[in-house]
Every structure is written in C-alpha cells, then in structure tokens.
Amino acid sequence: MRIRLLTVALAAFVPVLACAQPAKPAQPPQSAQQAQPAKPAQAAKAAQSAAGEDEDVEFEESIRNFGFVSGAAYQCLPEAERAAHDREVLRAYSGIVRLFGSDRAFFYAAAFGAGTSMAIDKAACAGYIADFRAAMKSSARGQ
C-alpha cells in the first residue's frame, strides 16, 4: 500500500518539476562582430589544444604498444619465468594507474591481454622480451 501511495505522490509531483524548469532563452541573432573570423590568439589556442590532443593520442598509443609487448613477452617466456614477469607487469600497471589514471591503465591491461592471446612469430620473441626489459629498466631510473 505504501508503494502505491509513493508512486501516486511521485506521479503527481513530476508535472510540477517539469513546470519549474527554466525555459531556454532564445538564441540572439548573430551580429556582424560575431560573424568575423577568430582572432589570432584564439586560433593559436585552438591549434595548441589540437596539438595537445595529438600528444595524448600518441601517449595512449605508446601505452597500448607497451601493453602488447608485455603480453607478447609473457607468451614467449618459459613457465618458470612467468611468475617474475607477472610481478613486473603488475608493477608497471600500478605505476600507470598511479601516474596516469585508470583509463590509461585499462589501455595497458587490454593490450597486455591481446599480446598474451594473439598468435605471434616465435622468431620475434627475443625482441619482445628485450623491449619489455628495456622499458622496465628505463622506468626504474625514474623512481
């Protein structure tokens, strides 16, 4: 009975909320000043933000590449060395989360999964392992 009463009360209250919403103001017509092209400072800011977005995309792509190399190296290692590799991968993941956030750490983890499950050329294994170790070695210098 209480649920019905609550439902009726909410149903009666919804039209009141709809009426209380402010109406959107009409868009004023564009004046001649607004139609002028952007100023050089605004154009520079737009170009700078576009360059910043390109850098973000490149950075995220490098995280994905690092994740793939990590997964491919895992696939190439013998069973005895995989536990140590797992610890290194978790350390890398934790560092990415701490420094760059969970979204970018997700990119790393997803690419790691792709690297572990994708069929790779066993001749390239030495390169994957060397690339992973070099990346982890360079990250240790920054700590």
Residue 87 pLDDT? 95
Residue 121 is given by DSSP the state -
45 has pLDDT over 60: yes
pLDDT digits (tens, 9 = 90+) for 80-120: 999 999 999 999 999 999 999 999 999 999 999 999 999 99
What are the distances in angstroms from CA 101 to CA 83, 90, 115, 136? 25, 15, 21, 19
Taking the C-alpha atoms of residue 92 and residue 104, their distance in angstroms, rounded to an integer, is 12
Q: What per-residue confidence (pLDDT) applies to 26?
A: 52
Q: What mean pLDDT comes out for the span 20-47? A: 56
Residues 6+ apart with CB under 8 A from 79: none
Q: What confidence tier does 138 reach under pLDDT thresholds 50, 70, 90?
A: confident
